[in-house]
Amino acid sequence: PKTHRVMTLADHISHIITQDFARNQ
Amino acid sequence: PCPVAPSSRSSQEVWESFSQCFTPAVKEVVEFAKSIPGFQTLSQHDQVMLLKSGTFQVLMVRFCSLFDPKERTVTFLNGQTYSLASLRALGMGSLLDAMFDFSEKLASLGLEQDEMALFMAVVLVSADRSGIVEVGAVEQLQENLIKALRSLITSRRPDDSTLFPKLLLRLPDLRTLNNQHSEKLLAFRID
């Protein structure tokens, strides 16, 4: 069965920013 | 480019494709921030905090060019145009209404591309300070960017002293948009 991850726009934005800075460390 | 669906797809699938749109847009804001003179002299922590609190607002400014306030339509980068009514099915009606109003006001100022970019830099460094450690450094950067924006605008329109204050009045609008809508839900399918 398909599962879904629901998050707020703000959390989605924070997640991408954290990932970007972690990758460029 | 936003692959918002032809009518055959369920609103859930439409919502997922709409959610996917945000990821590249956010990454572009991060790259934009790094290009702002002085931004990378801030501590990494403060850079991340400013981005977390300001990115949604920068996106709102960037998305303005997609909105046609007169026709009440949104044209995505892939050329697909949608009426406000058809997008309401995504459940973002209140955000879309607010976006149309905001983009109408911003468009009426008639900013050039470089003025818009500098305004977005001011928007980012004017974001909420609650997580910021070195507030002084951020405030100095904000002051420098506001000064640059003011001189750019006044040099091009020496006899229009109202445009710059009108532009700064958009900052509280953006903060309201952020407080009202950044908690909107996105949905991602995990197969």
Scanning every residue of chain B, which has its alpha carbon at the shortest distance from the alpha carbon of A18?
Answer: B48
Q: What is the pLDDT of residue B4?
A: 53
Dihedral pair phi/psi, residue B190, rounded to 5°: -115, 110
Q: Provide, as residue numbers in chain B, all residues whose Cβ is less than 8 Å from the Cβ of A10.
A: 52, 56, 182-183
- Cα–Cα distance measured from residue B84 to residue B73, given in angstroms and rounded to the nearest whole number: 6
pLDDT digits (tens, 9 = 90+) for B102-148: 999 999 999 999 999 999 999 999 999 989 999 999 999 999 999 99
- Cα–Cα distance measured from residue B142 to residue B61, given in angstroms and rounded to the nearest whole number: 18
pLDDT digits (tens, 9 = 90+) for B76-103: 777 888 888 877 776 667 888 888 899 9
Q: What is the largest CA-CA distance in chain A?
A: 37
With CB atoms and an 8 Å threshold, state whether A9 touches B183: yes
Shortest Cα distance from A2 to chain B (angstroms)?
6
Q: A4 and chain B: CB distance < 8 Å anywhere?
A: yes
Q: Is the pLDDT of residue B53 over 60?
A: yes
Q: Which two tokens stand for residue B151?
A: 């001189």
Q: Which two tokens stand for residue B70?
A: 């007169």
Which residues is B115 bridged to in the sheet? none
With CB atoms and an 8 Å threshold, state whether A17 touches B51: yes
With CB atoms and an 8 Å threshold, state whether A6 touches B44: no
- Residue the block writes with tokens 């692959």: B3
- Cα–Cα distance measured from residue B56 to residue B37, given in angstroms and rounded to the nearest whole number: 21
- CB distance B18 to B26 below 8 Å: no
What sign results for the dihedral spanned by CA atoms B27, B31, B36, B37?
positive
B91: left (phi over 0), alpha (psi -120 to 50) or beta: left
